[in-house]
Amino acid sequence: MAPAGSVGDAAQRDLRALLWASIDNDDSRDLDQLTVAEPAAGSAVKVLVAVADVDGLVQPASAVDAHARHNTTSVYTPGAVFPMLPTRLSTDLTSLNQDQDRAAVIVEFVVGADGALGASAVYRAVVRNHAKLAYDSVAAWLDGGPAPAPLAAVPGLDAQVRLQDGVAQRLKSQRHARGALSLETLEPRAVFDGDVLTDLRPDAKNRAKELIEEFMVAANGVTAGYLAGRRFPSVRRVLRSPERWSRIVEVAAGLHETLPPEPDGAALDRFLARRHHADPARFSDLSLTIVKLLGSGEYQVERPGASAVGHFGLAVQDYTHSTAPNRRYPDVITQRLLKAALAGGPVPYADDELDALAQHCTAQEDNAKKIERQVRKSAAALLLEPMVGRQFDGIVTGAAAKGTWVRVLEPAVEGKVVRGAEGLDVGNRVRVELLATDVERGYIDFARVGRG
């Protein structure tokens, strides 16, 4: 099947000859974006992000669209992926698979020597993925290891990825100078031997993940700005100033650090950088505490001329979700808004419909996270079943009327403190004993036995 909007479509450019490549998890099959970079004037670099044209094959109000609109997000669990779109679409027809011509929406931006964004553009094109790369092997290569086979097989791709890595580090430095938070949470990934769960290992950050993260943050900002510039509404991803800032101040004080009484992202990031340098082994514990205290993001409609709420953690004012339309419905909405703006057409959604969609997407994302957590808890309970009676060092990740939760790091699992929780708050380190597990309900019960 030809890509949605054929190569001969006058509205599309033919960019298949560029050295596009994807970088994602080893097992990812729903590839949403490709990246490429080119030297520009002086020390500047032009970056192009190609986003899969999902809207081209998922028509509004179709049965597939209704299915995706209901789900709003793919759900990732240790044993299986439950895709937002039918598998034939998300892993084939709308996935930017290697050696396949695909329609895409291009977000282009220039990055200066200091990491500041310059000129930008949005347009449609046909692209071709020349190499499906994976985070861990690319990161190992960037750190001095051997080149992954898919990268080595494409002449010039090694220099291309190094160019992208360099400009991503510029973007990272610029964002952190503005107050973006240097957080390092270690989300566990299931390890199987055949069908047997053998471990839950932390999924740590690396330079390849940073490369994609920085390009996606920049592309999402450019997208939001493009829509605003054409007087179009957008569905923004926002993270408000943390309501529990006073507790963040207390956590810093417990480490002999001082933070201002009012939320200040730059001051918080400087504190995090100092702690990472002083105690790198426990930095993931501190990061987890700060993430819990920052609260959750949400989707909110931003209308032309309104003041943007922004994203506190990323230190960006204009931010939408646009780069993962195979996995998130808000990105499909954004893509339809972009294509309407590019074509000079009307806004394809009524105001009240956008508001309802933003609320629905926030609620469904929260539900999906609950499901993912529940399945992870069942997997963790299964893994810990033989360990009842053992003691672990952990960190308190939740403290409320409904209960107190602690996360132990080896293996990386979370459970409820059912005995001795009095006086504990988020960020406290504790020593706990495993009392019981319930695989079906995902329960892991701990008793506090001392300070960690």
Lowest mean pLDDT across 18-22, 262-266, 375-379, 437-441: 375-379
334 within some domain: yes
Average pLDDT estimate for 290-312: 91
Please give the pLDDT value at position 39. 96
Q: Are 81 and 374 in contact (CB under 8 A)?
A: no
Q: Residue 94: what are its φ and ψ, rounded to 5°?
A: -105, 5
Lowest mean pLDDT across 213-217, 339-343, 409-413, 436-440: 409-413
Is pLDDT above 80 for 11? no
- The Cα–Cα gap between 181 and 196 comes to 37
Residues 68 and 99 in one domain: yes
Residues 155 and 20 in one domain: yes
Name the more confident of 11 and 240. Answer: 240
Task: Report the residue count for the chain.
Answer: 452
Q: Can you give the C-alpha Rg of the chain in angstroms?
A: 23
**Residues 6 or more apart from 118 whose CB is under 8 A from it?**
44, 109, 110, 111, 112
3-state secondary structure of 431: strand
Is pLDDT above 50 for 5? no
- The Cα–Cα gap between 251 and 425 comes to 10
Please give the pLDDT value at position 3. 44
Crossing angle between the packed helical segments 207-229 and 329-343, to the nearest 10 degrees? 50
Lowest mean pLDDT across 119-133, 300-314, 332-346: 300-314
Residues 86 and 145 in one domain: yes
Average pLDDT estimate for 69-96: 92
268 within some domain: yes
**What CATH number did the domain enclosing 440 receive?**
2.40.50.140
Residues 153 and 252 in one domain: no
Residues 214 and 95 in one domain: yes
What pTM did the predictor assign? 0.87
- The Cα–Cα gap between 269 and 387 comes to 38
Tokens of 138: 């690319």
Residues 57 and 164 in one domain: yes
Q: Tell me which residue range forms the domain holding 437.
A: 380-451
Count how many domains the chain has.
3
Q: Are 241 and 263 in contact (CB under 8 A)?
A: yes
187 within some domain: no
Lowest mean pLDDT across 187-191, 204-208, 394-398: 187-191
- The Cα–Cα gap between 169 and 384 comes to 39
Residues 111 and 63 in one domain: yes
Is pLDDT above 80 for 22? yes
41 within some domain: yes
- The Cα–Cα gap between 323 and 426 comes to 33
35 within some domain: yes
Please give the pLDDT value at position 452. 58
Is pLDDT above 70 for 6? no
Lowest mean pLDDT across 130-139, 140-149, 184-193, 409-418: 184-193
Q: Whole-number mean pLDDT of the chain?
A: 91
Residues 233 and 312 in one domain: yes
Residues 59 and 122 in one domain: yes
Residues 214 and 290 in one domain: no
Is pLDDT above 90 for 281? no
* Strand 132-134 to 22-24 pairing: parallel
66 within some domain: yes
Tokens of 34: 């490709």
Tokens of 128: 């071709």
Please give the pLDDT value at position 268. 94
Last residue of a domain, one of 304, 332, 349: 349
**pLDDT tens digits, one per residue of 154-171:** 999 999 999 999 999 999
Please give the pLDDT value at position 141. 98
Residues 27 and 172 in one domain: yes
pLDDT confidence bin for 410, thresholds 50/70/90 = confident
Q: Are 286 and 274 in contact (CB under 8 A)?
A: no
7 within some domain: no
pLDDT confidence bin for 450, thresholds 50/70/90 = confident
Please give the pLDDT value at position 104. 98
Which residue from 292, 323, 366, 383 is spatially nearest to 78, judged by alpha carbons?
Answer: 383
Residues 59 and 174 in one domain: yes
**Burial class of residue 243, CB neighbours in 10 A (0-12, 13-18, 19+):** exposed
357 within some domain: no
